[in-house]
Amino acid sequence: MYTKILGTLDKMPADAGYRRHTEKIINERLAIVNEEKTVEGIEKRINQGLVEEVIIQAENELVLARQFLQSKPWEPLVAEPPPNQWKWPV
């Protein structure tokens, strides 16, 4: 699953924020999976729940990465947003 995510991220621009941050996390987790010999060791070092939950997280991340590859959020906006569109509180 992690190698699929990395393959999807490789198709994105190297300077895309999502790619940079996600690549770092996925590479760290992949190293843990390759180093650890037990499921318990993986769960302890990743510290995000049971392995089954970590797999679900990876599946969700792959779906998101593929969606980002389709929508290309790193590209400039088609038109300027209305003034104060992202101002909070309104």
Alpha helices in the chain (DSSP H): 2-9, 17-35, 39-46, 51-71
Report the b/e string of 23-43 with b at 16+ CB within 10 A.
Answer: beebeebbebbeeeeeeeebb
Cα 11 to its chain centre, rounded Å, is 13
Say what the pTM is.
Answer: 0.84
**Would you say 57 and 1 are in contact if contact means Cβ atoms under 8 Å apart?**
no
For 32-48, the pLDDT digits (tens) are 999 999 999 999 999 99
For 53-66, the pLDDT digits (tens) are 999 999 999 999 99
The domains of the chain are located at 2-71
Helix (H) or strand (E) run with residue 76 in it:
none
pLDDT for 90: 66
